[in-house]
Amino acid sequence: MRNLISSFVMMTAVLLITSGSFAQQSDTKKEEAKKAQTQAKPAAVPLSSTVKSAADVAAQQPEKAGKLYGGWMLPAAGLTFPALPYDLDALEPVIDKLTVEIHYDRHHRAYYNNFLKAVGGTEMETMTIFEIFSKMSELPVSVRNNGGGFFNHVLYWNNLSPKGGGEPGGELGEAITKYFGSFEAFRAKFDEAAKTRFGSGWAWLSVDPEKGELFISSTANQDNPLMNTESRRGFPILGIDVWEHAYYLKYQNKRADYVESFWKIVNWQDVEARYKQFHEMKDKLFR
């Protein structure tokens, strides 16, 4: 009887130890599985962390597209995505940080990437963007939309500045008075072009390559006055994006308010530099 009891006690102890070991192994496996699942699942990345600062972008890649037109004389395949010339929140309160962030890093960057894809493996890789624009009526719509979108936005961002606003002086100020009568008359006409552009598009201040006159026009989608699809071609020096992605987060359907506020951040130094460069480059751009 004593032997039977001893055997029963030993069997019970073995079962307890074994079940404890199994439970420990099971817990360990659960922990390992949980850890593996956590490692496999990518962490959510906030939008702001995907956008590098202008300094970071500039350090990683040369700004071959350039602030002015000279940099655009490179073959299309050699163009890079330029850095934003100020911080994402620099244009507030006129344009909010989130709008700049999405507009620059998603919309503008997508136009650049898709433009390179559109010209890749074709003779357009070796052409300047101006040569491409001069033949736009013969080219695929993907080149027109994305080439225009890439170029137009480079001009747009550099046309703006947190220290902008006021009125232009110097040669540009004199030219505006000459061709429009006054700055106020010019602004009213430009505003009308921007506000009345149906759907998506742009309003422009350009220089006529033959007469040297300043003129205002508007284009649909991502077209611009350099393209041979336009009834009057010109050398754009100021442009406003009136696609909804440029203003809707802040202004909703009030495009007119966005256009009125736009003048507070216009970088007239950049616009005047483009006007001066017109005289240097017109023969290279319009052939």
Q: In this structure, is residue 49 part of a structural domain? A: no
pTM, to two decimals: 0.77
Instruction: Inform me whether the pLDDT recorded for 57 exceeds 70.
Output: no
Average predicted confidence (pLDDT) for the chain? 82
Which pair of structure tokens corresponds to residue 229? 């699809």
Q: In this structure, is residue 262 part of a structural domain? A: yes
What is the CATH number for 98? 3.55.40.20
Q: Give residue 49's pLDDT.
A: 29
| Rounded Cα distance, 200 and 206, in Å | 19
Instruction: Inform me whether the pLDDT recorded for 58 exceeds 70.
Output: no
Helix, strand and coil in the chain, % to nearest 5: 60, 10, 30
| Rounded Cα distance, 73 and 49, in Å | 33
Give residue 287's pLDDT band: very low, low, confident or very high (50, 70, 90).
low
Instruction: Inform me whether the pLDDT recorded for 276 exceeds 70.
Output: yes
pLDDT in tens, 205-214: 999 999 999 9
Q: Give residue 17's pLDDT.
A: 36
Verify that 189 and 62 share a domain, yes or no.
yes
Verify that 107 and 24 share a domain, yes or no.
no
Verify that 160 and 205 share a domain, yes or no.
yes
Count how many domains the chain has: 2
Please state the rounded mean pLDDT for residues 95-115.
98
| Rounded Cα distance, 2 and 17, in Å | 23
User: Which residues are bridge partners to 240 per DSSP?
Assistant: 203
3-state secondary structure of 202: strand
Query: What is the domain extent for residue 24?
Result: 1-41
Verify that 62 and 23 share a domain, yes or no.
no
Verify that 11 and 75 share a domain, yes or no.
no
Verify that 102 and 234 share a domain, yes or no.
yes
Please state the rounded mean pLDDT for residues 82-101.
97
